[in-house]
Amino acid sequence: EKSRVSHQVTRMAARGLVERQECAEDRRATWIHLTGDGRRVLVHALPEHSATIRRVLFDALSDRQQEALLDIARTMNAAITAEDCPPCDGEGDSDAGADAD
């Protein structure tokens, strides 16, 4: 939720880990930048975090399950790439980009 994210960013800013910066293009938006201290905390936490991710998400899977997950990830990445690069020559879905009324 937006309010929870905002609250967490406020807490991180109070600790000096991030800083807010107004967005010149959209006054409703705010850019969040990692500070030097924030980067140091992140780099320090990364090895343990990565080990936990590996242990919980990958090591718990069989080799067959890992292969299936890799196949799924590749399929999703291909779909994302296709979505980011719509056809330029007018081919494809004629409703692409149309506003819903």
Could you give the number of structural domains in the chain? 2
Asked if 58 and 23 sit in the same domain, the reply is no
Block residue for tokens 């006054």: 27
pLDDT (tens place) for every residue of the chain, 101 residues total: 778 999 999 999 999 999 999 988 888 888 999 999 999 999 999 999 999 999 998 999 999 999 999 999 999 999 999 887 655 544 444 444 444 44
pLDDT of amino acid 3: 86
Asked if 27 and 53 sit in the same domain, the reply is no
Asked if 8 and 22 sit in the same domain, the reply is yes
Q: What is the three-class DSSP state of 59?
A: coil
Asked if 15 and 46 sit in the same domain, the reply is no
Residue 90 lies in a domain: no
Residue 14 lies in a domain: yes
pLDDT of amino acid 86: 56
pLDDT of amino acid 93: 47
H/E run at residue 18: strand 18-22
Residue 17 lies in a domain: yes
pLDDT of amino acid 91: 47
Show the domain range for 18: 1-34
